Structure 1
Amino acid sequence: MSGMVTQVRAARRDESPVRIGVLAPLTRPGWAEAGHHLLAGMELAARAANAGGGIGGRPLELVVRDTAADPQRAAAAVEELAGLGVAALAGEYHSVVARTAATTADALGMPFLCSSAVLDALTERPTPWVARIAPAQSLGWRLFADHLLDAGHRRIAVAAQPSVYWQTGTRILRDHLAPHGGTVIELDTQEPGAVCDALVEHEATALLLLVGHPEPAVPLVRAVRGDKRLAEVLIGAPAGQPEFAEWAELLGEDGAAVPFLRYLPERMTALGSRVELSLREQLGTAPSFVAFEAYDTIAVLTELLRLGDGTVAADAWPRADVEGTRGRIRFSRTAGTGVWQWAWPPVQVVDRDPAAPGRFRVLRSAP
C-alpha cells in the first residue's frame, strides 16, 4: 500500500514501584528497639524480593510510618498510606495500636498483614482484609501458664498497667490456672517497694511483669532482686521484654532467669538460618523473633502481590503458601480472632541463662 505508514509502538513497561505501607514503633513511648528489629526484617525481605525480580519486574518499596505506640497516630498513618496508593499495609508491634490500625484498614478496604501484635480479637468484627503472622495471645499465654504450673507455682502475682492487652493477659492466666488450683493476685505497679511488700504479704511465689519496658519493668526487677525476703520468687515477663539486648544491658545478671514468650522454632528453616546471619550483620546484635516475624510478613505479601499482579484482594489470604523463616505459612479462619491467621507459628518459653545472660534457654515449646 503506497502512501500508508504503519507505526508500531512498543508497549511501555510499567516500572513504577509497588509500595507497602509499614507501621512500626520507632520512637518513645513505643518500644523502639522492637520497632527497629521489625523494620530491619522487612527491609531485608524487600531487598530479597527485588533481587528476585520484584513484583512482575516492578520494584517493591516500603513506605514507613512511625506509630510511637499511639493508636490515633497509627489510624492517621493508615489513612495517609491508603491515600498514597500503597498496595497493602504491614507491621506493628503493640497490640492496642495494631487493633486500631486493623479497624481502620478494614473500614477502608485496605489489606493489612499484622506482624507481631497478639491480642486475640484484633478487630471487633470478622474482616476479610486483615491477616496476622503472630499467634493469638491466648495460645502463648496458656503455654506460659502451663510452665508456671509445672514449675510448682500456684500463687502468682501480676504487676499490670492499665491496658486491654494486660487485662486480657491477666484474664487468660487466671482462667487457665484456676482449674489447677492456681490463683492470680493483681498488684499496683506505682511503687516497687510496695510491690515487694505485697509479694511477701500474699506469699506469692511468682511475679509476672505485665508492664512497659524499661519503665516500670526495670525498677521492679531491681527491687525484687534486691529484696532478701524474695530470693525464691520467680520473675516472669510473658510479653517478651527480656528478648531484647536493652534488657540485658540495663539489668545484667538481675535480668537472667526471667522466663518469657518468643515465637521461634527449635530449628530455623534453611531460609531462616540465612536470614539470621544477614540480620545479625545488619543489626549488629542477635535478631529477635520480631525481626523474623517482619521478614515473613513481607515474604507473604511479596507472594500475594506477585499472584495478584501488584494487588492483594480481600480473598487472597487463603492462597498464600510461603516458606518462611520459621516454617510453612498458610492462613485460615481461627475462632475468636476475626482475622486470617497463621495457625500456628512456633511458640517457646525461654529465659536468659544466669551463667551467661547472652545465651537463651528453651524451657518449653509448642507445637
Structure 2
Amino acid sequence: MNTPQPTAGSHVRIGALVPLSRPGWTEAGRHLLAGLELAAYEVNAAGGIGGRPLELVVRDTAADPERAEAAVDELAGLGVAALAGEYHSVVARAAATRAEALGLPFLCSSAVLDALTEQPADRVARLAPAQSHGWRIYADFLLDAGHRRIAVAAQPSVYWASGTRVLRDHLAPRGGTVVELDAPSLSPAAVCDELAGSGATALLLLAGHPEPALPAVRAVRRDRRLAEVLIGAPAGQPEFAEWAALPGGDGAAIPFLRYLPERLGPLGARVGKALRERLAAAPSFVAYEGYDAVTVLADVLRSHGADRTRTAAVWPTVAVEGTRGQIRFSRTPDSSVWQWAWAPVQVVDRDPAEPGRFRVLHTG
C-alpha cells in the first residue's frame, strides 16, 4: 500500500487511537487523550518538530478491534508519521498488527497483552509493562497478603484468559491455586454462592467496567458470608473516579495495578499538575502514559525525521526522560514488540476512610 508521507512545510501528524465511547472504558480514554494533547501542546510551544507544528489526528476506537483497524488504514492514508495510544489490549493488538503490516510506527501507550503482535514486530513499541510482568507482581502481592486460594470471575476474552493463565502459572509453584467461576452464566448473587462454596479468600474481577464489575462488587460487599473475602481488580478498574463515588465505600479496598512510581520526579510532578487542570480531577496513570507516548514520538521525529522506513532502527536508540523515569526500548522474552522494561509497577487501593486517596500496598 502506498501511503503519503508528510511534506515540507506541512504539519507533522500523529494518529491517536483512543476509546472515547462505549463499550470502551471512556474515562480511561479521556485521561489518555488528556495526556496525548498536553504533550502535543508542549511540543508545539517548544517549536514543534523542526519548526513544523505537531498535529494529533484522533480516532475513537470504542473498544472495537475492527474499528481500530479501519482507523489505522485511514490514518495511514492521511500520511501520519506515527500512531500513539490505545488502552484496550485486544484493540491494541488489532491496531499493532495492521500498523506493522503497513510499515507505520505505533507506540502503544497503555495496552499490556504480551502477544501484542503474533510475530515479532519492528515498527511497534510499547510503554506499558507486559501483562505477564505486572500480573506476576500482583500474584506476589496476593501471596504476601496470605492468599493461597484465589477465585477469578472472568468474562470471555483473550486478555482475561491470558491474565488468568499468568496468575495460575505464577501461583502454583508457590502453593497457590486459582478457581475459575463461570461468570458469564452467573448472576451477581450466583457468583456469591459459588464464591462462598469455593474456599477462596480472594475474588479477582476480570471483567469490564462498569458492567459487570460494579454489580459483582455490590453483591459481594453485601453478602455476610463473604465479609473476609478480598476483592481485587488487577486490570485497574478502581483507578477511575466512578469507583470513588460508589455508595458506602464499595469501591475502596480493591487492590489494582497502577504504573506509577511511589514519588514523581520534577517532570512528573509538573505534568501531573497540568493534567489535573485539564481533567478537573486527579490524573490516572493512563494520562501519564499518553503524555509519555507523544513525548517519545516527538523526540524520534526530531532526531530521525518522519520517514516511516527508519523506525525499526530507531526504537533501540531512544533515551527519553518521561514522567515516570527514563524510557528506553529493548526486546524482552515476554513481548513481541519493542518494550520499555519496565515502567514502575504498584499494587494500590482506595483508602476506605478516604476513597479519593490511594494506598500503596506493594511495589515491583
TM interval, shorter chain, is over 0.9
Kept in 2, the 8 Å contact 1:322–1:328? The answer is yes
Is 1:247 aligned to residue 243 of structure 2? yes
d(CA) in 2 for partners of 1:274 and 1:336?
33
User: Does 2:32 correspond to 1:21?
Assistant: no
Q: d(CA) in 2 for partners of 1:148 and 1:173?
A: 10
- Residue 238 of structure 2 aligns to which amino acid in structure 1? P
Q: Quick one: which of 93, 96, 100 aligns to 1:102?
A: 96
1:4 paired residue number: none
1:170 is matched with: 164
Separation in structure 1 between the aligned mates of residue 144 and residue 329 of structure 2, nearest angstrom = 32
Q: Which moved more, 1:101-110 or 1:331-340?
A: 331-340
Normalising to structure 2: TM-score of the pair? 0.96
State whether structure 2 residue 312 is matched by structure 1 residue 318. no
Q: Identify the residue that residue 82 of structure 2 maps to in structure 1.
A: 88
Match of 2:208 in 1: 212
Letter in 2 for 1:119: L
Name the amino acid aligned to 1:141: W
Q: Give aligned-pair identity as a percent.
A: 74
The CA deviation at 1:267 is 1.3
Write the letter of the residue equivalent to 1:181.
G
Shift of 1:14: 3.9
Contact kept in structure 2, 1:22 and 1:62, CA below 8 Å: yes
* Residues 169-223 of structure 1: CA deviation (Å, up to 9, x unaligned): 0000001111121110111223111110111111111000000000000000000
Question: Which deviations, in whole Å up to 9, do the C-alpha atoms of 1:128-184 show, x marking residues without a partner?
Answer: 100000000011100110111111111110000000000000000001111121110
1:350 aligns with 2:348: yes
1:159 aligns with 2:153: yes
SS in 2 for 1:296: helix
Aligned match of 2:228? 232
TM-score of the pair, normalised by structure 1: 0.95
Shift in Å, 1:251: 4.7
> 2:24 and 2:290 mapped to 1: Cα distance?
17
Return the alpha-carbon distance in structure 2 between the equivalents of residues 112 and 252 of structure 1: 42
Question: Shift of residue 250 of structure 1?
Answer: 3.3
Shift of 1:73: 0.2
Match of 2:3 in 1: none
SS in 1 for 2:313: coil
One of 277, 286, 306 as aligned partner of 1:281: 277
**What is the CA RMSD across the aligned residues, in angstroms?**
1.0
Q: Is the 8 A contact 1:218 1:250 kept in 2?
A: no
Query: Once the 2 structures are TM-superposed, how far is the Cα of residue 125 of structure 1 from its aligned partner?
Result: 0.3
The residue correspondences of 1:171-210 to structure 2 (distance < 5 A) are 171-189=165-183, 190-210=186-206
Looking at structure 1, the residues matched to 147 and 52 of structure 2 have their Cα atoms a distance apart, in angstroms, of 55
Instruction: Establish whether residue 365 from structure 1 lines up as the match of residue 357 from structure 2.
Output: no
Partner of 1:147: 141
Query: Residue by residue, what CA displacement relative to the aligned partner does 1:266-324 show, whole Å, maximum 9, x if unpaired?
Result: 11121110000000000000000000001000000000000122335221111211000
The Cα shift of 1:252 comes to: 4.9
Q: Count residues in correspondence.
A: 354
Distance 1:233 1:222 in 2: 13
Question: How do residues 59-70 of structure 1 correspond to structure 2 at under 5 angstroms?
Answer: 59-70=53-64
Secondary structure of 2:339's match? Answer: strand
Residues in 2 aligned to 1:250 and 1:322: alpha-carbon distance in whole angstroms: 39
Residues 222 and 251, structure 1, Cα contact 8 Å, conserved in 2: no
Residues 97-136 of structure 1: pairs in structure 2 closer than 5 A? 97-136=91-130
Q: Does structure 1 residue 292 correspond to structure 2 residue 292?
A: no
For residues 103 and 128 of structure 1, do their structure 2 counterparts lie closer, same or farther at Cα, with a shift above 3 Å needed?
A: same
In 2, distance between residues paired with 1:114 and 1:252? 37
Question: For each residue in 1:64-91, what CA deviation from the matched residue of structure 2 results, as whole angstroms up to 9, or x when unmatched?
Answer: 0000000000000000000000000010
Matches for 1:36-55 after TM superposition, within 5 Å:
36-55=30-49
Q: How far is the alpha carbon of 1:15 from its aligned partner?
A: 3.0
Distance of 2:333 and 2:48 partners within structure 1? 35
C-alpha distance in 1 between matches for 2:233 and 2:114: 18
Distance 2:89 2:247 in 1: 25
Contact 1:117/1:134 (8 A) holds in 2: yes
Give a deviation string over 1:1-49, Cα, whole Å, max 9, x none.
xxxxxxxxxxxx9431000000010000000000010000000000110
SS of 1:199's partner is helix
**Is there any run of 5+ residues in structure 1 with no aligned partner, and where?**
1-12
Which runs of no fewer than 5 residues in structure 2 stay unpaired? Answer: 1-6
Partner Cα distance (2:248, 2:69) in 1: 37
Distance in 1 between residues matched to 2:307 and 2:361, nearest whole Å: 42
The structure number with the bigger radius of gyration is 1
**Mapped contact 1:187–1:195 kept (Cα < 8 A):** yes
In the aligned structure 1, how far is the partner of 2:337 from the partner of 2:175?
34
